[in-house]
Amino acid sequence: MPHPISALGTSHTIISLLTCAAGFYSYARHRKIDSAMPSGKIYMTAMVVSVFTSFGLSSTGGFNVGHALGILALLAIAGALLTARLSVLGRTRPYLSQFAFTFSFFLLLVPGINETLTRLPVAHPLADGPESPIVRSALAAWLGIFVLGSVLQFWWIRSQHKRAQLD
| Total-model pTM | 0.91
- What are the pLDDT digits (tens) for 88-138? 999 999 999 999 999 999 999 999 999 899 988 988 999 998 899 999 999
Amino acid found at 132: S
Tell me whether residue 38 is in a domain. Answer: yes
Q: What angle do CA 114, 74, 84 make, to 5 degrees?
A: 130
Question: Is 1 inside a domain boundary?
Answer: no
The answer to whether residue 152 is domain-embedded is yes
- Quick check: 76 and 101 in contact, CB under 8 A? yes
- Say if 108 falls within a structural domain: yes
In a domain, 82, yes or no: yes
71 within a domain of the structure (yes/no):
yes
Could you give the number of structural domains in the chain?
1
2 lies in a domain? no
pLDDT digits (tens, 9 = 90+) for 140-167: 999 999 999 999 999 999 999 888 888 7
d(CA 138, CA 116): 11
How far from each other are the two terminal CA atoms of the chain, in whole angstroms? 62
Angle at 135 between CA 64 and CA 50, to 5 degrees: 45
Closest CA to 96 of 78, 110, 112, 109: 78
> Could you give the CA distance from residue 150 to residue 156 in angstroms, rounded to a whole number?
10
Please give the residue range of the domain that contains residue 141. Answer: 7-166
Domain annotation covers residue 26 = yes
